[in-house]
Chain A
């Protein structure tokens, strides 16, 4: 809940300022530095690739390792659990300790959230800080990957990661027969029935797969993350249920079946409850492609068993 609201609170597209000074001469010179990045009021010039990166953002950690910049990462926060080889520390992205961060002597700190003036404190201490907040669209996600690629001198890898994602997503979506058929679903964020609407990053992925979100008509506050009434879920009787709360809240097909009123739902009776990885579905990195594959698989499975 908290992470979600924080993610939503900072809706800005963080990448409008991405500029690379070296663009014209890029083809000619093997090292495209300096790279100039404008990020939340600060203009940073990278004359060479940062050699000591700290990531306090689980998504950025995934991106850095995916684009082969993992060797430059000296520390990641306590929530960065992927990939397993990331140098996980006790550092926290939510309650960060400036001294502990500085003790690594980093030349770049990547965050997804700015608690208690973390960004300005670190910048005042002379450390470059890149704030990449929650993506609103896949395009945001691609842009963040490209930005980290430019800064770390891994443009080629970053481009490859993005094009690979695009390819995977396109083929997953293409594999769904008669997309746009009105298959309804309920995406569960926690066991008190918080959900997501199609206006959110994750909600858009379902729309791309042609699914109808039962939460869309429920979000009077247009916040994107409504808490659905149990009565409403039962009345809507979604065809598919996606659980993104198996990690946070120990939910499972079994606990869903045992809830009051849920036993009669079509998705429960016909076994169309699909477990998503909590982490992947709350991040916006390269693994987002596999999330879409999981959704596509669920839709195909549903269509196959119901027609």
Chain B
């Protein structure tokens, strides 16, 4: 195996933790409405039962505790999920263009959400996350069923192709349904662009278990991704049960990604930009890349959301636009400044 065995050094762990903490603290202190740092501290301290912390009953408490803090944490968690799922897919499919939506998660989620939105039932609104979650899981199940039947030994390629076909099919159905319900276009469109503007603790509670489980699985299987890099056949001769491991990794990544998009809508670019930027900085070993993607994706999305809610404050910018607008040039910059010949 050509890949050198790399470990995450203690220094890296410290640097990452400090960077993550600083980003989160900054993001909680800055927002559309200026709140003094003392109020931020008071609000969070009181809610966390820190002794002798006076209760702040004002509007600032609502802004910090009910709106900003859950939003920042959700952004971190979703960013982590998308980046680690993206890195995992790039390894599993040996495809640098792979992202968490490769196997149809986004198209399935979009179709599910659209169905919930146009159904018009009074309860349907609360069902949007559930419908998009089920749509996403269903789409990947369909892709996997179709892609599996491909030529043996070329399964990763046939899975990717099946994913493209399924995504196109579901997107076409979604567009058709949406065109039939012009009056609902506004809400479908808002959902597709993705937003964290309306999120609270409830959203976090809803998705945290899935994302935690998914992230844990991807972290556990990170070494296997390095074995995948030699190709399916060689990995098999090395004793790796390729198909079973791939299935586990896909299920884990899908579960977490589906949960993430179900509450935030479709946020693009995170899953592709973050792992590649890290790859250029620390190399290709998934043993290092996965944990760094978990932290880096979180930091990236918290920063993107910070821009989304403050750049034109108090007007919001759709988060998906920020990740593309900031992420793409940033990525090109790293690509240009570090032509290290790193490849997937």
Taking beta carbons and an 8 Å cutoff, which residues of A are in contact with B?
Answer: 1-4, 78-79, 92-95, 189-194, 217-221, 226-232, 234-235, 237, 247-252, 255, 259-261, 264, 278
Q: How far is the CA of A227 from the CA of B182 in the complex (A)?
A: 21
Q: How far is the CA of A276 from the CA of B179 in the complex (A)?
A: 25
Are A79 and B183 touching (Cβ within 8 A)? yes
Are B185 and A231 touching (Cβ within 8 A)? no
Are B67 and A230 touching (Cβ within 8 A)? yes
A234-B59, A260-B200, A261-B62 given; A255·B125 CB < 8 A = yes
Are A231 and B182 touching (Cβ within 8 A)? no
Are A1 and B189 touching (Cβ within 8 A)? yes
Chain A residues whose C-beta falls within 8 Å of the C-beta of B315 in the assembled complex: 218-221, 226-229
Q: How far is the CA of A197 from the CA of B316 in the complex (A)?
A: 15
Chain B residues whose C-beta falls within 8 Å of the C-beta of A264 in the assembled complex: 59, 62
Are A1 and B186 touching (Cβ within 8 A)? yes
Chain B positions 245-281 with a Cβ under 8 Å from a chain A Cβ: none
Are A260 and B70 touching (Cβ within 8 A)? yes
Chain B residues whose C-beta falls within 8 Å of the C-beta of A94 in the assembled complex: 179, 182
Q: How far is the CA of A36 from the CA of B199 in the complex (A)?
A: 55
Are B182 and A260 touching (Cβ within 8 A)? no
Are A235 and B59 touching (Cβ within 8 A)? yes
Most buried by A among B120, B179, B314: B314
Beta-carbon nearest neighbor of B198 in chain A: A192
In the complex, how many angstroms separate the beta carbon of B18 from the nearest chain A beta carbon? Answer: 27
23 A-B interface contacts by CB (under 8 A): A1-B186, A2-B185, A2-B189, A3-B186, A4-B186, A78-B182, A79-B182, A94-B179, A191-B187, A192-B316, A193-B198, A218-B314, A228-B316, A229-B31, A232-B32, A232-B313, A234-B62, A250-B124, A251-B125, A259-B200, A260-B67, A260-B200, A261-B200
Interface residue B195 (Cβ < 8 Å from any Cβ of A) = yes
Q: How far is the CA of A191 from the CA of B197 in the complex (A)?
A: 10
Q: How far is the CA of A147 from the CA of B312 in the complex (A)?
A: 40
Interface residue B73 (Cβ < 8 Å from any Cβ of A) = no
Interface residue B334 (Cβ < 8 Å from any Cβ of A) = no
| A235 in complex: contacting residue of B63, B312, B317, CB < 8 Å | B63
A1-B190, A2-B185, A255-B125 given; A227·B316 CB < 8 A = yes
A235-B63, A260-B200 given; A229·B186 CB < 8 A = no
Are B309 and A229 touching (Cβ within 8 A)? yes
Are A231 and B199 touching (Cβ within 8 A)? no
In the complex, how many angstroms separate the beta carbon of A275 from the nearest chain B beta carbon? Answer: 13
Q: How far is the CA of A259 from the CA of B70 in the complex (A)?
A: 13
Chain A residues whose C-beta falls within 8 Å of the C-beta of B59 in the assembled complex: 234-235, 237, 264
Q: Give the top 7 A-B pairs by smallest Cβ distance, nearest first.
A: A260-B200, A232-B314, A229-B32, A261-B66, A1-B186, A250-B125, A226-B315
Are A260 and B199 touching (Cβ within 8 A)? yes
Q: How far is the CA of A258 from the CA of B198 in the complex (A)?
A: 11
Q: How far is the CA of A194 from the CA of B195 in the complex (A)?
A: 12
Interface residue B37 (Cβ < 8 Å from any Cβ of A) = no
A192-B195, A230-B67 given; A260·B201 CB < 8 A = yes
Beta-carbon nearest neighbor of A77 in chain B: B182
Interface residue B223 (Cβ < 8 Å from any Cβ of A) = no
Beta-carbon nearest neighbor of B127 in chain A: A250
Chain B positions 292-344 with a Cβ under 8 Å from a chain A Cβ: 309, 312-318
Q: How far is the CA of A79 from the CA of B179 in the complex (A)?
A: 12
In the complex, how many angstroms separate the beta carbon of A196 from the nearest chain B beta carbon? Answer: 13
In the complex, how many angstroms separate the beta carbon of B263 from the nearest chain A beta carbon? Answer: 12
Are A261 and B67 touching (Cβ within 8 A)? yes
Most buried by B among A226, A247, A261: A261
Are B316 and A193 touching (Cβ within 8 A)? yes
Q: How far is the CA of A249 from the CA of B318 in the complex (A)?
A: 18
Q: How far is the CA of A250 from the CA of B117 in the complex (A)?
A: 8
Beta-carbon nearest neighbor of A218 in chain B: B314
Chain A residues whose C-beta falls within 8 Å of the C-beta of B312 in the assembled complex: 220-221
